Structure 1
Amino acid sequence: MRSFSLLALCSFSPLLIAADMPGSQDLPIVPRMVDAQIVDYRPAVEIERIYPLGSIRKISGQLRFDGQVSARGNATSVTYELPPEHSSTEAFTAAREALQQQDAQLLFWCQARDCGESSLWANEVFGNAKLYGADNEQAYLLLRLAAPKENTLVALYSITRGNRKAYLHVEQFEAAAPLGDLLPTSATLLRELKSTGELDFPQLTNAPDDTWLRLISRGLNLDTTLRVSVSGPSAEAWRQALIVQGVRAARLETGSVEGSGLHIQLLR
């Protein structure tokens, strides 16, 4: 089971509500931090939306990133200013854990300078100047909700500005058409493994799938110091396949975690 940060989550008081932007409201899928205030709210509007799946940069006036999810649908967003006693990292982590408790799938996760320039995220991606801050004080995460809401994406972006004010931006996007297959990046799998201690793939119940095998092996080989256990109905087949893909055998053990699909656990 993933840990769930209940501390610093939702609290609703008359004082807190009075401080919110008029007409604003929380998104039900992400509880707010105690004493956080809504400083920007954009109700559902139908748009063509592009979410980056890589570090962003600008070349010859054009925004560039390695991958993307693009679709038309309804986007709703809320931006919180956090109280001084809580950091943007705390708020980002609590929101991520709340979504993972709902079995949301991580598609892309970056932190600090790995995300690119904060000014581009603030102005070009989210169109919200409040989100511009120090490049090393940012984090971005794109998730896909579990069925039956698999055509809904959630984007999280946290930032601490130069004046030390911290913000969490939450955007929910409901696609008008099925999103189809969406795969995480290998670097995102590694970041999730190192942050949560495990990776769950309930859909991978059979023999190793070539696409997922490449993603997982690349992720594990981004940090060759890590050792993991591999559990599930086809655990030994996956372990052998990962070895063939270049993951050293000494880094892989067959585990005993019960579940319907592949489970990878970090060995401390």
Structure 2
Amino acid sequence: MSCNSISCTFFRLLICTPLLLGTIARADTADEFMAQLAVGDFLEPVKDASMAVRNHEVGLGALQKSDGRWRFKHSERITGQLSRATWQVLDGYTSAELVEDLDNQLKDASDVRLLFECDGRACGSGSQWASRVFGERILYGRAEAQRYRVYALNESSSTDEGVQGPRTRLLVYAAMRTADRQYVHIELLGEESLTP
């Protein structure tokens, strides 16, 4: 695929570096990786963080309200290192364009598998994604403009002994409050044992 927009530069850094396709599950590597993403004149960093997490829920389905509680239709839980960052999209680019570029670059990549995707209202309540899932009120926007993706990275289906290796997940969420206030939020979660 030929890619000539500035937004493709961002996603080339995200996807096509040896850092991502190497041993990204290590905490220090994830931190270094996330620091490299805040480049380009079309993205302004809003917030970033890195932390150890236990049983962190990764949504693999839409958010639904059931018995008065918001929950994912399907999900998995991972203990490990979580790195997250939020950027505001600038200069006439849209958050939807960035997610589309990412989708196009990842669809044929080896060692990358799309686990879940949703667009617009099919994702569920935008306010719940912003506040409950990501804890970032700034991500609350128009429900019809939201995008969510979960990718499995560097994950073999099994080892020679039949035991699955550590999981690494890339989560991408795009939101649009107004035409001038659009955001992309990325989380990188690498599974590892946490010592008490």
2:123 pairs with one of 87, 112, 115 = 115
How far 1:10 sits from its partner (Å)? 3.3
How does the TM-score come out when normalised to structure 2?
Answer: 0.72
Specify the SS of the correspondent of 2:84.
strand
Change (3 A) 1:66 1:6: same
TM-score in terms of structure 1 length: 0.54
Unmatched tracts of structure 1, length 5 or more? 12-23, 178-268
In the TM superposition, what is the alpha-carbon distance from 1:175 to its structure 2 partner? Answer: 1.1
The 3-state SS of whatever aligns with 1:54 is coil
Three-state SS of the structure 1 residue aligned to 2:103 is helix
- Please say if 1:139 is aligned against 2:132: no
Q: Is the 8 A contact 1:113 1:136 kept in 2?
A: yes
The whole-number CA distance in structure 1 between the counterparts of 2:172 and 2:69 is 23
TM-aligned CA deviation for residue 43 of structure 1: 1.9
Distance 2:39 2:171 in 1: 15
Higher strand share: 2
Partner of 1:10: 9
1:87 aligns with 2:80: no
**1:246 maps to what in 2?**
none
Structure 2: distance between partners of 1:150 and 1:30:
23
* Match of residue 45 from structure 1: 52
CA RMSD of aligned residues (A): 2.8
2:137 maps to 1:129: yes
2:104, 2:149 → 1: CA distance?
12
> 1:87 Cα shift?
0.6
Task: Note if 1:176 corresponds to 2:174.
Answer: no
Deviations 1:39-64 (A, max 9, x none): 01012333321111211123344122
Work out the number of aligned pairs and report it: 163
- The answer to which structure, 1 or 2, has the higher relative contact order (CA under 8 A, 6+ apart) is 2
Per-residue deviation at 1:65?
2.5
Contact 1:30–1:95 (CA<8 Å) still a contact in 2?
A: no
Cα separation, partners in 2 of 1:75 and 1:6, compared to 1, 3 Å? farther
Between the aligned partners of 2:122 and 2:147, the Cα distance in structure 1 is: 9
Q: CA deviation at 1:76?
A: 0.3
Counterpart position of 1:233: none
Unpaired runs of 5+ in structure 2?
Answer: 11-30, 157-164
Indicate if the aligned counterparts of 2:90 and 2:180 stay in contact, CA closer than 8 A: no
* 1:106 correspondence with 2:150: no
Matched to 1:142, the amino acid is: V
> Judging changes above 3 Å, is the alpha-carbon distance between structure 1 residues 33 and 91 closer, same or farther for their aligned structure 2 residues?
farther
Instruction: Identify the residue that residue 220 of structure 1 maps to in structure 2.
Output: none
Structure 1 pair 110–30 and aligned structure 2 pair: CA distance change class (3 A):
farther
Per-residue deviation, 1:25: 7.1
Task: Give the letter aligned to residue 9 of structure 2.
Answer: C
Alpha-carbon distance between aligned partners in 2 of 1:162 and 1:42, rounded to the nearest angstrom: 25
Give me the whole-angstrom Cα distance separating, in 1, the residues matched to 2:99 and 2:33.
Answer: 15
Letter in 2 for 1:5: C
Q: Which amino acid aligns with 2:173?
A: Y
Matched ranges for 1:238-249 at <5 A:
none
